[in-house]
């Protein structure tokens, strides 16, 4: 079972990475200017839009839910990369470096997913996609609270663990929607 999930995960990530690298070629690493709180707000906007589309069943913009989940995955990767960079790091990064960082953050997140899937028995496969959206929104609100607390937690995981969970929930949703 884990082998199938692993392959499905990799397939979804390949779609996300392809778009991410194309946008990096178009825009460079303009995202480097964003503070983590701004990235969290972008995640909120995307997750809230998915929830609205799930409830209203119609889009006036013409873009559906799948591009928003892809955006969540890519913004989570950006957040994880950005969380390790400082103001001394250059704003513009070479494409090869961005790709290597993308792969590193995805590998760390994939490893976490495989460990959790072992312990939870792939319960996500029986969940509603709308529940995955709600879990992403909950994680966004958790991250916002941690940010408001200046990164201090008493008994909770930090923001990176929450970004990893959001990324994995978005991958699960795309797997469930058969995105390849």
pLDDT tens profile 17-49: 999 999 999 999 999 999 999 999 999 999 999
133-154 pLDDT, tens digit per residue, is 999 999 999 999 999 998 888 8
Mean per-residue pLDDT of the chain: 94
Instruction: At 162, list the tokens.
Output: 């929450």
The full length of the chain comes to: 180
């Amino acid at each position: 079972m884990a082998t199938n999930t692993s392959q499905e995960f990799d397939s979804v990530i390949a779609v996300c990475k392809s778009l991410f690298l194309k946008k990096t070629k178009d825009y460079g690493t303009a995202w480097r200017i964003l503070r983590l709180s701004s990235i969290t707000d972008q995640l909120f906007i995307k997750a809230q839009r998915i929830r609205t589309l799930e409830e209203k069943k119609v889009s006036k913009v013409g873009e559906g839910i799948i591009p928003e989940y892809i955006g969540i995955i890519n913004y989570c990767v950006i957040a994880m990369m950005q969380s390790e960079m400082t103001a001394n790091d250059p704003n513009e990064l070479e494409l090869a470096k961005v790709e290597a960082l993308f792969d590193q953050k995805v590998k760390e997140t994939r490893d976490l997913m495989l460990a959790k899937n072992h312990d939870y028995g792939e319960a996500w496969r029986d969940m509603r996609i709308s529940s995955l959206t709600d879990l992403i929104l909950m994680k966004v609100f958790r991250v916002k609270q941690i940010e408001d607390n200046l990164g201090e937690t008493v008994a909770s995981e930090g923001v990176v663990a929450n970004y990893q969970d959001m990324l994995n929930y978005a991958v699960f949703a795309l797997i469930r929607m058969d995105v390849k």
